[in-house]
């Protein structure tokens, strides 16, 4: 069981990205690992980002 210190807070933004307390390591469906050392990382949930798996606000262009 993860300890409180090991856990990360994830915030779901309606119509937007998942905000994850960083740093994070994201494993893509092909097994590729992508890392970010930012304090808060926006993970794309719509797959329209040119920087996928990270959000570049492309979701705002389409309603």
Q: Where are the domains of the chain?
A: 12-57
Convert the pLDDT of each residue in 29-39 to its tens digit: 999 999 999 99
Give the distance from CA 20 to its chain's centroid.
6
Nearest to residue 46, comparing CAs of 17, 13, 14? Answer: 17
How is residue 5 written in tokens? 């210190």
Q: What is the pTM of this model?
A: 0.77
* DSSP code of residue 58: G
Convert the pLDDT of each residue in 38-59 to its tens digit: 999 999 998 889 999 999 988 7
């Amino acid at each position: 069981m993860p300890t409180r210190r090991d856990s990360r807070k994830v915030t779901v933004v309606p119509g937007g990205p998942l905000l994850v307390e960083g740093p994070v390591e994201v494993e893509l469906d092909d097994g590729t690992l992508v890392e970010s050392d930012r304090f808060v990382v926006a993970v794309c949930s719509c797959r329209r980002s040119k920087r996928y798996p990270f959000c570049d606000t492309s979701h705002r262009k389409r309603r």
